[in-house]
Amino acid sequence: MLTFQDYLNSSDKIGFINDAIIEFKASERYKIANIAWAYFSGENVTILERMKWFYNTNGIKQEDFFKANNQIPSAFFPKIIKQECSYLLANGVTMEDKFKKDLGKKFDNRIYKSGLYSKIDGVSWTYCHLDSKGKFCEDVWRGNEFVPLFDERTATLMAGIRFWQLDVNKPMFVEFYEQDGITELQSNKQNNLIVTKEKQPYKLIKKIDVLGERIEGENWSILPIVPLYSGILKKSSLTISLRNQIDLFDKISSDFGNNLEDAQDIYWILKNYAGQDMEQFLKDYKYYKTIQITDEGEASPHTIEVPHEARKIALEILRKQIYATAMATDMDTLTGGSLTATAIRIATQDLDLKTDEFEINVIDYIENILNIYNEYKGSNEEYEFKLIRRTLINDTETIDNIYKFRNDIDLETALRLNPYISDADVDDIIKKLEEENINKFSYEEENTSIEEPENGAIQQKENKEEVV
């Protein structure tokens, strides 16, 4: 692992950047992150790269082109990742409207995107900068496109290298971030890095005075790149345990399809087969539908019975193990009678435990972004924010409980507890209810009935006053 001190001590700075990228791409972390991204994309590499083999009569391993080779990737990993990120981040960051407005409409989207990247790669990076209009914004990078250079003593991020390449036949683009600016580089035909733009400050500010219009550069007080780690271990959520269980599920599921497909054929018991070996037999049978036997030979066909129940039980067990290992909630188990509040709390207990750890990192991450934003605004305001989890609830049960306890809670609390009413609408609803009550009272006053009693006097029902 190369550090910031290694960079300072290097005599060839550009050569160091190139070596750092090469070392990073050869690291185990980089490889695991790429595999995790493939699983997140539904391209489970283990099952998609699996080939069918057999050994011929000479003991040579050969690919079997005659057996079915279904490759069925499961979608466990993206579901697990999206479930946790949606649970914690789908409701966005709750803070005062004026601050939220300043941060922009896409602030919540970027936080969610950063969360996804961090769970897949183990870390994501957010670059805080000014856009072309001079407004504060953030760019979110995957963990696999940024090489961090930490201080050896304090573990503080002091510099970093961002790189990307559309194709192996296309040039690689590099941005080197230091505390005093950005340097842009690009690979040439010899795969050597060359500087395409010399170091420039992070903030280019237009100033107009007696000397005329000019552009001046400024830098942030810290490197404006903020990490979001997936957890304490800072590793991808695709652990070895989880991946092996997913791979086994995919193999059993795919082999079940293979058995169904191969069961449409038959297998043969041969007596005095006249061919050279089994490979020749398979070719003759597949291509010519004939079998060579001697005068006393015999070939009898038999069918295959697919072991359905054993595979079904195995897949059910693996499914439970996958969700248990990932500390995720299997939504298929929450049906019918299991939709009570108590059952939901029990089913989401592991998800809460896992999310608790992630939330600590997300809060630190958001605070670091807001510190840079404060520097942009030139203020020292303290931002109070919170993350409201997207809890699973039984709406009918919740509303019934609100009705039962209505005498013990005020109207505003009852409205805010209602899952069909957003907090933003509560004040408007209360106002409308008050207006309806006022209008109802006025209507009753205006339409108070008047009756004539038996003695001929007119009496008003409401106030019992006699009118002469």
Parse the chain into domains and list their residue ranges.
Answer: 4-41+75-229, 241-332, 393-468
Chain-centroid distance, C-alpha 383:
26
Rounded Cα gap, residues 6 and 211, in angstroms: 43
DSSP state, 421? S
- Please list the residues that pair with 146 across neighbouring strands: 162
Q: How confident is the model at residue 96 (pLDDT cuts 50, 70, 90)?
A: confident
What are 102's two structure tokens? 């300043």
> Which of 76-90, 196-210, 317-331, 368-382 is predicted with the least confidence, judged by mean pLDDT?
196-210
Q: Which helix (H) or strand (E) holds 268?
A: strand 267-273
Which pLDDT score is estimated for 458? 42
Residue ranges of alpha helices (H) inside 284-383 are 308-325, 341-347, 349-377
Average pLDDT over residues 23-46: 96
Residue 393, pLDDT above cutoff 80: no
Residue 148: pLDDT above 90?
A: yes
> Could you tell me what percent of the chain has a pLDDT over 70?
77
40 closest CA partner among 74, 15, 14, 84: 74
Residue 259's SS3 state is: helix
Instruction: Reduce the DSSP state of residue 204 to 3 states and report it.
Output: strand
**What pLDDT shows up at residue 285?**
59
Which of 55, 67, 115 minimizes the C-alpha distance to 91? 115
Q: CB within 8 A of 233, min separation 6: which ones?
A: 122
Residue 3 has pLDDT above 70, yes or no: yes
Q: How far apart are CA 68 and CA 70, in angstroms?
A: 6
Cα separation, 76 vs 225, whole angstroms: 32
Q: What is the pLDDT of residues 63-79, one digit of tens each?
A: 777 677 888 999 999 99
Q: Amino acid identity of 462? A: E
Is the confidence at residue 463, as pLDDT, over 50?
no
**How sure is the predictor about 468, in pLDDT bands with cuts at 50, 70 and 90?**
very low
What's residue 288's pLDDT? 46
Q: Which residue has the higher pLDDT, 215 or 76?
A: 76
Alpha-carbon span 322 to 312, nearest angstrom: 15
pLDDT at 353: 94
pTM of the model: 0.76
User: What mean pLDDT is predicted for residues 5-14?
Assistant: 96
User: Has residue 57 got a pLDDT over 70?
Assistant: no
Q: Between vectors from CA 63 to CA 60 and to CA 67, what angle results, nearest 5°?
A: 125
pLDDT for 120: 98
- SS3 state of residue 58: coil
Give dist(CA 128, CA 224) in Å, integer. 5
Q: What is the mean pLDDT of residues 339-359?
A: 86
